Structure formats: structure tokens, C-alpha cells
């Protein structure tokens, strides 16, 4: 199976513990001309010393950005979220001052972007923790039109250091393929991605694949389903 990386325009970068290395990130973007949108998950990306520079670099390369979690951060970083007009959406914790500031910048730069979604923190009681939804795990493959495996090709996830996780459910800690070093094309022609796609398509276990250890795959097996990710994402008959 040949995965054409030219078809993959959106990626997600997990930045829950560390920000990306800016120099590595720049090289990756230059090696991956088909990437058009990067979504950062996690607050640590705001610890990147060159954050405003990174947003500007993406704007100059026609790349839109999404930030899944804006926490405490500097006014320079908040300003960069508006100034280059390439940040389309942010989720931000309830902080009236920061939201006010962002709206001021939007006026100053005459921009409708970014869309600001306020994260309301809800405290869960211990009772909530054992609600029936805790068992949703068993139904992970109920709707395979909206399953995490599809993200492998329509919005693959990389770790902050460039390691190719594929999808956000990947349970493995070590990932041999580094997309920052290789660029999208080489990373996606790697054997490990092909093995994941093949395992989902055939249902045959491949021990080296993270899917082997993933509850979504277990759920697919229990519900007697297989999924041709390539066909579903690219509608390729």
C-alpha cells in the first residue's frame, strides 16, 4: 500500500509536556510542503521561547494554526495569536483578562481570527467518575465513520519531538519513525505506518504495531469489523 503524503494536509502535534524545537520544526515544515494546518494539543507549546516567531513563520508559509489549550502565557504570545491572522481557533481557559486582551488585538489588527472558545472547568465528583460513560470503551468501534484510526491519514499526530504517533490513541511510548527528521513523505512511506493500515484492513495481529495494544482495535475485533483507512479517508476505489 502506497500512502501519498501529498494528500495529508492537516497534522496534530502533541505538546503536553514539552514545546517543539523551533529549528527542527522549521526544517520539518520546509520538507513537508503539503502541510497546510497544524493543530497543537497541550499548553507546553506556549513555553517555546520563539513562539511569536513560530506563528509568523507558519503565516509566511501559508500554514493555519489551531491551539487546543491556551493557559497562562505572555502578552507577546497572545498578541502573536492575532497579529499574523493565521490562527483559526483557540481553546482558552476562563481568564477574563487574556480574553479581553485578545479581543483588543483583534480590533487593533482588524481581524476576526482566531475564533475563541472558552474552556469552562467542571469539577467531577467521585460518583461521576464511575458513571456508565466510563464503560464507553466497549463501544469504541460502534461508529467506524468517526473512529480514531481515520486520523492516521486525515490528521496524523506527531509527538512534540517529531515521533510519528499516527493517532491519539496510540498506546506505545517509543516510536521509531521521526517525521521531523524525515519529512512527511518519507515518514508516511515507512513500514510501520503500512503495517498499521494493513492490520486494520485485515484484522490480522502484527505484534510490532501499537494497534495490537489499543482498545480501539480490540473493540473492532469484538464487533467483528475491519477498516480500510486509506479507502475511507481518500475515497479511493
What is the nearest approach in angstroms of ligand SF4 to the Cβ of residue 128?
A: 25
Q: What angle do CA 185, 161, 227 make, to 5 degrees?
A: 50
- In degrees rounded to 5, what are phi and psi of residue 64? -85, 150
- Which of the ranges 9-17, 26-34, 44-52, 147-155 carries the binding residues for ligand SF4, by CB under 6 A? 147-155
By CB under 6 A, is residue 149 in contact with ligand SF4?
A: yes
- Which of the ranges 44-52, 90-98, 181-189, 214-222 carries the binding residues for ligand SF4, by CB under 6 A? 214-222
Angle of the 215-222 helix axis to the 191-202 helix axis, nearest 10 = 30
Report whether 229 contacts 154 (CB < 8 A).
no
One of 25, 160, 188, 217 touching ligand SF4 (CB under 6 A): 217
By CB under 6 A, is residue 167 in contact with ligand SF4?
A: yes
By CB under 6 A, is residue 3 in contact with ligand SF4?
A: no
Please provide the DSSP assignment of 64-82 as one string.
EEEEEEE-S--HHHHHHHH
What is the nearest approach in angstroms of ligand SF4 to the Cβ of residue 1?
A: 14
What is the nearest approach in angstroms of ligand SF4 to the Cβ of residue 166?
A: 6
- Which of the ranges 17-25, 103-111, 113-121, 166-174 carries the binding residues for ligand SF4, by CB under 6 A? 166-174
By CB under 6 A, is residue 13 in contact with ligand SF4?
A: no
Residue 76: exposed, middle, or buried by beta-carbon count in 10 A (0-12, 13-18, 19+)? exposed
User: Between residues 44 and 214, which has the closer beta carbon with respect to ligand SF4?
Assistant: 214
Number of residues binding to ligand SF4, judged by CB under 6 A: 13
Classified as helix, coil or strand, 87 is strand
User: Between residues 63 and 196, which has the closer beta carbon with respect to ligand SF4?
Assistant: 196
By CB under 6 A, is residue 159 in contact with ligand SF4?
A: no
- Half-sphere exposure (CA, 13 Å, Cβ side) for 220? 23
Q: Is 166 left (phi over 0), alpha (psi -120 to 50) or beta?
A: left
| Contacts of ligand SF4 in 174-213 (CB under 6 A) | 196, 210-211
User: Between residues 70 and 233, which has the closer beta carbon with respect to ligand SF4?
Assistant: 233
As a whole number of Å, the CA-based R_g of the chain is 19
By CB under 6 A, is residue 148 in contact with ligand SF4?
A: yes
**Which of 40, 140, 52, 130 lies closest to 90, judged by CA?**
40
What is the nearest approach in angstroms of ligand SF4 to the Cβ of residue 169?
A: 4
Q: Which residue has the cell 512527511?
A: 184
Interaction site with ligand SF4 (CB under 6 A): 148-149, 152, 166-167, 169-170, 196, 210-211, 214, 216-217
Amino acid at each position: 500500500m502506497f500512502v501519498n503524503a501529498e494528500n495529508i494536509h492537516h497534522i496534530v502535534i502533541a505538546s503536553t509536556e514539552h514545546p517543539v524545537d523551533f529549528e527542527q520544526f522549521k526544517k520539518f515544515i520546509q520538507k513537508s510542503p503539503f502541510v497546510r494546518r497544524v493543530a497543537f494539543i497541550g499548553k507546553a507549546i506556549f513555553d517555546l521561547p520563539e513562539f511569536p516567531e513560530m506563528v509568523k513563520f507558519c503565516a509566511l508559509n501559508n500554514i493555519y494554526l489551531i491551539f487546543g489549550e491556551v493557559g497562562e502565557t505572555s502578552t507577546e504570545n497572545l498578541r502573536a495569536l492575532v497579529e499574523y491572522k493565521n490562527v483559526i481557533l483557540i481553546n482558552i481557559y476562563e481568564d477574563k483578562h487574556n480574553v479581553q486582551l485578545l479581543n483588543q488585538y483583534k480590533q487593533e489588527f482588524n481581524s476576526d481570527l482566531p475564533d475563541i472558545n472558552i474552556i469552562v472547568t467542571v469539577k467531577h465528583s467521585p460518583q461521576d467518575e464511575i458513571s456508565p460513560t466510563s464503560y464507553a470503551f466497549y463501544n469504541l468501534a460502534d461508529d467506524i465513520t468517526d473512529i480514531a484510526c481515520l486520523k492516521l491519514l486525515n490528521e496524523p499526530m506527531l509527538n512534540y519531538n517529531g515521533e510519528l504517533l499516527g493517532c491519539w490513541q496510540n498506546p506505545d511510548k517509543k516510536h521509531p519513525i521521526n517525521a521531523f527528521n524525515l519529512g512527511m513523505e518519507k515518514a508516511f512511506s515507512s513500514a510501520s505506518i503500512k503495517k498499521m493500515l494493513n492490520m486494520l484492513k485485515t484484522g490480522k495481529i502484527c505484534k510490532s504495531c501499537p494497534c495490537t495494544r489499543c482498545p480501539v482495535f480490540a473493540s473492532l475485533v469484538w464487533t467483528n469489523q475491519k477498516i480500510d483507512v486509506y479507502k475511507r479517508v481518500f475515497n479511493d476505489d
